[in-house]
Chain A
Amino acid sequence: MRVEYINPFVESAYNVLKEVLNGDVKRGELFLKSTAMPVLGVAAIVGLAGDVEGRVVFDMTRETAVNIASAMLEAMEMEPITTLNDMGRATINELANMITGQAVTKLHDLGFKFDLTPPAILTGDNMELSDSGVEALIVPMEVPQGKIEINVAIRERA
């Protein structure tokens, strides 16, 4: 993945998580992955198009998703949730949108033109994620509510 793309994603993930969750955010070590990898249970996917093609996946356990959605809802003085209902999914969608949106804005400033697709949420057990012919950059983030793995795979359009 092009080097210039890395930082915008890492920074916006850090900033947005810190802002919406109002807690300690830690970033794990970045690494590359090219093989199929398990999805923890809840995956929000945002597609990228434009100069490049690719997608960003936000991967977390169901429990983490509920915790994060609750924390975000409470911050807006709304009822927290106990199971991953429509409200919870919409909240996670919004988080994915915020992070990707901010990253794309930063990339725009650097001169790269990206468009976003609306986020989609996948839930289920024993899911796997694989890309062919493109490496994924893994950005592990740890927040008080649990772990989120941000999986970015971007390819230059030939």
Chain B
Amino acid sequence: MTTSADRARSGARQRPQIADLRTRCSAAAGADLGSPQAMHRWSVDHYREFWRVLLDWADLAWEGSADVVSTSDDVEHARFFPDVRLNYAENLLRPLEGVDDATTAVTAVHGDGSVERLSRAQLRARVRVTATALAARGIAPGDRVVVLAPNNARAVVLALAVIAVGGTVSLAMPDMGPTALLGRFSQIDPTALVLDRGGPDRGGASGPQGGSGDRLDALVAGLPTLRQVLVADGGPLPGFDGLEVSALDAEADDAAGEPVPWQRLPFDHPIFVMFSSGTTGPPKAMLHGAGGVLLEHVKEHRLHIDLDAADTFFHHTTTAWMVWNRQLSALVTGAGIVLYDGPVRGPETLWRLVADHGVTVFGASPPYLQLCQDSGYRPRDEVDLRRLRAVLTTGAVLHDWQYDWFADAVGPQPLQSIGGGTDILGAFVLGHPELPELRGRSTTRSLALDVVAVDDDGREVVGSVGELVCRNPFPSRPVAFLNDPDGQRYHEAYFVQHPGMWTHGDLIDVAEDGSVRFHGRSDGVLNIDGVRIGPTEIYTIVSRLPEIAATMAVEQRDPERAGASRLVLLVVLAAGQRLDDALAERIRAVLRREGSAAHVPSLVVAVPELPTTHNGKLSERAARDVLNGERPRNESALKNPQSLQTIAAAVAEAGRPAARVEPVAPVPSGGERGADTAARLFRETLRRPVGETVNFFDAGGTSRESMSLLRRLRIESGRAVSMDAFLDDPTIRGLSDVLDRSPATAADEVTVQLLRAGTDPSAVPLLLMQGVHGDVDLYRYLVDDLDTDGDVYGVFGAMHGADGRRLRVEETADRLVAGVLASDAVHGPVAIAGYSFGGLVAYDLARGLAAAGRDVAFLGLLDPRPPMASLKGPERLARRAASFLAMFVPGFSDTTITTAIANRFRRQTLTAEQLMLLDSVRIARSFRVEPYDGPVTFFRASRRIPVISHLLYAWRRMVPRLEVVDVPGAHFDLLSQEHAPVVAARISRALRAAHARRVGVPVDAAGGGPPPGG
């Protein structure tokens, strides 16, 4: 047996700290807790004694009485140490016996390689000065303070200073978008905002003064409770109406006065506001208390990781993740922490930091390790890892093969997979210094936490998969949710499924030896391509359809694609209803509209009944098991186990390929002719029968009612008739003509839709190209803000050929060219623009129209997808690595890590919509830039990972007249409500410049200001 203690450690460390604690626990227990399992058992059974012993053993700074450890055994409401008072910052920073105060506490590495080091003494002094400055500015217990800072030394100082004076701190990265920031911080009513816009080394277009001003304005405007803004980066002070803005300058403040004493506050005094990453709606804001955080982290760091003053701990994170708060607490052990605020430029980036700074315990994400593996990087061959003694991973499942790679390419250090969450600001499962690493499993459960897997009825299961619950109280639960006065949201988040237990929402199996493996999200949550979806979201939406009596969403392993899964929706129909294609389509449409693409099922299957437990609960798990060809684990708990075979048969039948490729019958629903449908809808909308040729509006119909009529047409007979077509002849006869004439949708139909009427019919119209979904919805905010006199049109058509094959960009563009040339609405010169995928379409449309002799006055490419196929080999490799890494930087990537992982490891379990998206990426990648000699304006997103430029060189090779205009935002939120106004203004300006160029007027005379630069 190899343990972390003897495997990678130097001889200096003989006995892990947990052995020392065990001695004390054994004394308290009056029994020998010799094995880790016995120790865990005791710590759970006697959790009050455990926490009491830990509090004493850890030698923390506190006052009051620790006689009452927990106020009850109720997980939901128990409070720990109600009579203990302490200060988290004091505990992290105070001088430690046997630890040299000159030991490096913080090593902050910047993107440019520069390093800032603070000893424990220096860090303490800086926190003291900053705390004094904050107190002088009125920050006191009860204040919530937002700190926007990259992961550098200042972030540590600021957070600890706020906590030192009794404030509650919430951190985020300064380059997060205002929507994300406001989604979090508008919930917490902060009184102060502390800004660190990053040092001058961080530069680039998104640098401190450049792009951040508008974002800051939006943020500050959205936080009405703010009383002051403090600028900690030494840069110029921004101005905000009615707000006090001051510099928080440590040196200047040094002379400011007597240090304020740091109060010891109640154990539950909130020190952090954390946000759980919800799947919909704003993230839940939760308060974490000083004592709970401190004790939990002391336990994890000292007992499970065995950190002490000899260690240097580096867990790569941003300030917006709970990992940051957790690594901060490592200071309590005397260990030094390493911070890094630069980008991950390649697989070597973090390993180099590990080597350069003598890191002993390194934390990274499984995707990062996977990147190293994929790119053939072998850390042990490249850098000196002699000091490294353990590697932690968290945030995603660590796969079996990653252990093999690690042993081969890194070394014998234990690789520990940690699983927990923001909700508990800690870990449920993690490593253990006395236990050997187990390939594919987390070694142990967190001490004193009664973490088990349970079945549907809440009974513990060992050796098989169950729901992760914690059955006893623990100090690091959130002390409260914000905006949840009666605790209802808190209750619903964790305590509904299994009363009396904390249900976390993960599926695990716990082996006899206490080791744990994760099996994805539990029943309660579907994991569709990495997107977490609560089935109730689906049920809520679908239940509004009167045809549906009951429904169940099940994630099924895709029988046709190994490793993939798909969303199956089982529906029980209301009496007399039949599940036809139209109804299935309507269900999909309503889920897409009110949910998201991820909510759209691959299969909709009608079944007579749903598996239900004796308690009357739906059992998604039973359905999932049977659909996956497994024996349902909880069959005995079902009152209708016979339903399962029916379901399995129905799904198998519905999923047969033949059934799926069967063409959708063209509409006439229920055999009703177009004229009958039209007459009925007129009658029902107008509430009286009218003649065939009577104008809808003459008969008293209003415009609002015309919308209702078209909606009912869409819903009841699946026919989409445009308002335009209706208004051309708003009579029963006119409508029935439209219905009879047009087949549902012609594959080659191109729509040129007026999005906004211009004021000057002679002005050049702007055509916006279909985006990745085949529609133009993404331009909504942009259109609103465009300042142009011309009409604005959306141009879109089918995404697939008659054979069902997805069209290439060039083919799509060819069809759109034909559509535009045939359009009655658009003639003469045109301006064209497109975003991302649509940018590529726009480019080829412009080429096509120009080739057909049309005057293309303007072509705007809005951060188009990089034309990978136009790159040369090495360029492509560099781009690929960089785009993968971008996923680690919040706000930089439109792919989440989980999505990417899902793509990488599970291949296709994707819904039709998701497949289409992936297809689009594939198609965009195959796009080649062909020469175009017209003027092109390239609108480039300001925020981007350094390596990922926009491959401008690939464009420049083919486009001699390329102008580049920088616009705010990152690729994915370029057209969001926040950024659209600026993007629209720059497009409008470029449009005017193009117009001026065309008619030969100086730009200024056209009212446009200077031409776009770049």
**Does A associate with B in a complex?**
no
Chain B positions near chain A (C-beta within 8 angstroms): none
